[in-house]
A and B are shown apart, each in its own frame.
Chain A
Amino acid sequence: DAKTTQPPSMDCAEGRAANLPCNHSTISGNEYVYWYRQIHSQGPQYIIHGLKNNETNEMASLIITEDRKSSTLILPHATLRDTAVYYCIVRVAPGTYKYIFGTGTRLKVLA
């Protein structure tokens, strides 16, 4: 089954870029990588997803390596409100409807 690996925690200064890495070396060829974040006591919130090309939206940018075995979520100008747990997820296997969440990366933005 495909799975992801993320560092357990990171700190980032307010106003600086936060770069959150994710390893997904077992990802299948046509599976997307999704990023969510969870602020304390709330449901996870969708951030961005991608397949092969880099993606950008109003929340973040996603950089996917050419071999697709890893990706990096970039919050270009982190604010205190970006403090949350960030999850990188992929589908367990093609044709399934299951996504496995690991423990994510706890990002703390420092004033």
Chain B
Amino acid sequence: SQTIHQWPATLVQPVGSPLSLECTVEGTSNPNLYWYRQAAGRGLQLLFYSVGIGQISSEVPQNLSASRPQDRQFILSSKKLLLSDSGFYLCAWSQKGGYGYTFGSGTRLTVV
């Protein structure tokens, strides 16, 4: 069966520090991968999605970047965090054909 792993679960980082969040998927190949962010009390905002290795689509201009170095690995990064980067970050995957998502358990990032 397919599983998605996302870590860490919580993270507190100072303003100006770098960020790296990792997401991996098991039990499938060539998945579509997604990063969402959820600010406190808000809906989910799509940040990036990827349909293949090295293929990244950015949805919202921001301080973040994404990379997909391997088929089932998706990384969210920042060189210098801002206070506004705080939030709940969710990784998700879907099969080609777009039949819904499976989400990871999320990373709660607090920038202080």
Contacts and interface: CB of A to CB of B under 8 A. Distances in A.
Interface string A17-50: 0000000000000001010100001111110010
A102 B43 CA distance: 6
Contacts of B104: 43
A49 B103 contact: no
B5 to A, nearest CB: 12
B108 A41 contact: yes
Interface residues of B, number: 25
Interface string B70-112: 0000000000000000001010101000111111111010000
A98 B56 CA distance: 13
Interface stretch (B12-20, B44-52, B61-69): B44-52
Given A41-B108, A43-B90, A98 B103 contact: no
Nearest to B88: A41
Q: Which among B43, B88, B104 has the greatest number of chain A C-beta atoms within 10 A?
A: B43
Contacts of A104: 43
B51 A97 contact: yes
A91 B103 contact: no
B32 interface: yes
Contact of A103 (B36, B43, B51, B99): B43
Secondary structure of the A side of the interface?
Answer: loop
Nearest to B94: A97
Contacts of B49: 97-98
A97 B98 contact: yes
A44 B44 contact: yes
A96 interface: yes
Interface of B: 6, 32, 36, 42-46, 49, 51, 59, 88, 90, 92, 94, 98-106, 108
Interface of A: 32, 34, 36, 41-46, 49, 87, 91, 96-104
Given A43-B90, A98-B46, 17 more contacts: A32-B99, A34-B101, A36-B101, A41-B106, A44-B90, A44-B103, A46-B102, A49-B100, A96-B98, A97-B32, A97-B98, A98-B49, A99-B46, A99-B98, A101-B36, A101-B44, A103-B42
